[in-house]
Structure 1
Amino acid sequence: MKLLFDQNLSFKLCQDVSDLFPGSCHVRDVGLTQADDRTIWSFARANQLTIVSQDADFSDMAMLLGPPPKVIWVRSGNRPRVAIALLLRTYSGLIAEFEVNDAVCLEIY
């Protein structure tokens, strides 16, 4: 599974979890820093990426539009990058299951 990290998360997460999620990128890496949510959604869909965000907007879009893409909603509040990376590592098994099940949004805390 390749992840697309939203602007509200650190671009360094790509490197932090590259062993688990190779090929992941940040919106900044693909020129979408100032893009609206719909543009990011379309990019993720076209490139088979799962959106990772702390923003409820993508969860809402997932429920309304359905996959692809799928959305991982990080609901842990503003925490250091290493804490978010640890959260993704802790739930990597659940995230792998999420990739193949019918759910459209996975909330992790």
Structure 2
Amino acid sequence: MRLLFDQNLSHRLVALVDSAFPGSRHVVDYGLDTATDREIWDHAASHGYMIVSKGSDFRQFAFLHGPPPKAIWVRAGNASTRAILELLLRHRGLIEEFEGDAEGALLVLPFD
């Protein structure tokens, strides 16, 4: 289960989630930090990633295009990197279920 973190999330998350989500990367790792949402979407689809973003842009892509890739919308506002990490780890089982759902395109993780 590999995650691709959007530019609106810290690149430090890659190392922090490594044991739970091995092989995850940040858009910066691929030189996509200034890429369009479409370029990120296409890259994630081609390389087997689920996109994780705090922005709602990928929500629209998920509804318009469907998977792959899948998008995880972290509705955490101004939350710290540690809070985002804890949210992802707390919902790891849900993320695994989402990955296995052939029809699911978008998972919304509200900040509790």
Residues 41-80 of structure 1 mapped to structure 2, 5 A cutoff: 41-80=41-80
How many aligned positions are there? 109
Stretches of structure 1 that go unaligned for 5 or more consecutive residues are none
Moved beyond 2 Å, runs of 4+: none
For normalisation by structure 1, the TM-score amounts to 0.98
Stretches of structure 2 that go unaligned for 5 or more consecutive residues are none
Q: Deviation per CA, 1:27-50, whole angstroms, max 9, x where unpaired?
A: 001110110000000000000000
- Distance in 2 separating the partners of 1:107 and 1:80: 18
Q: What corresponds to 2:9 in structure 1? A: 9
SS at match of 2:68: coil
Question: How far off is 1:76 after superposition?
Answer: 1.4
For normalisation by structure 2, the TM-score amounts to 0.96
% same residue: 50
- RMSD, aligned α-carbons: 0.5
Q: Deviation per CA, 1:15-69, whole angstroms, max 9, x where unpaired?
A: 1111011000000011101100000000000000000001111011000001000
- Distance in 1 separating the partners of 2:3 and 2:78: 19
